[in-house]
Amino acid sequence: MHKINYARYIVLGMLSCGPTTGYEVKRFVKEFMSYIWDISYGQIYPTLSLLERQGCATMNEEKTGGGRPKKVYQITDQGLTELQAWLRGPETKEYELFLKLCFGSLLTPDELIPKLEAYRRKREEELPIMEEWLKTMESGPVMGPNTPYYLLLTKFGFDYFHLEKEWCSQSIETLKKLE
């Protein structure tokens, strides 16, 4: 299985919103995506150039007030097709669904709801396992002197997974209203 280039899909997703400069992609990643997914600034400009060479984006230079012309990129039909194929495809990495939701307008609620349902089921299956770990750790020193710290982290994970499960349910209801 090949490694997914998430920077590619983040940039394609940004370009799907309209003509964009590398700086605007960089700003969006910093302000809105860094808590969901991390890509380095050093990946953005090479990704834009690669997308252009591969026919997934076009670049036009626009004159500015007095400085260098700015490079404005736009997604092509080929790029949009590739982006939508990734959005529709299976999630292969933890929290990839959250990244895909950033560009959810390119899918229908009927396409997104099963993804959220699958994520919710995954959390529902994991919660009893975590609950069992909590019971085991609370009953005695399982991991020596670090047991209280593992217990703190396991409690955090349990609460977080429960929150994610509830968030999925709420998100599904929101998407059903959009249909």
pLDDT in tens, 94-148: 889 999 999 999 999 999 999 999 999 999 999 999 998 888 888 876 678 888 8
Type and span of the H or E element at 49: helix 41-53
Mean pLDDT throughout 153-168?
Answer: 94
Mean pLDDT throughout 83-88?
Answer: 97
Q: Does residue 37 contact residue 10 with C-beta atoms inside 8 Å?
A: yes
Taking all residues of the chain, what is their mean pLDDT, rounded to a whole number? 91
CA 175 to chain centre: 18
Tokens representing 34 are: 């860094």
Q: Does residue 83 contact residue 13 with C-beta atoms inside 8 Å?
A: yes
CA 147 to chain centre: 33
Given a cut of 60, is residue 60 above it in pLDDT? yes
Between 30 and 170, where is the model more confident?
Answer: 170
Q: Does residue 70 contact residue 21 with C-beta atoms inside 8 Å?
A: yes
Distance from C-alpha of 6 to C-alpha of 132, rounded to nearest angstrom: 35
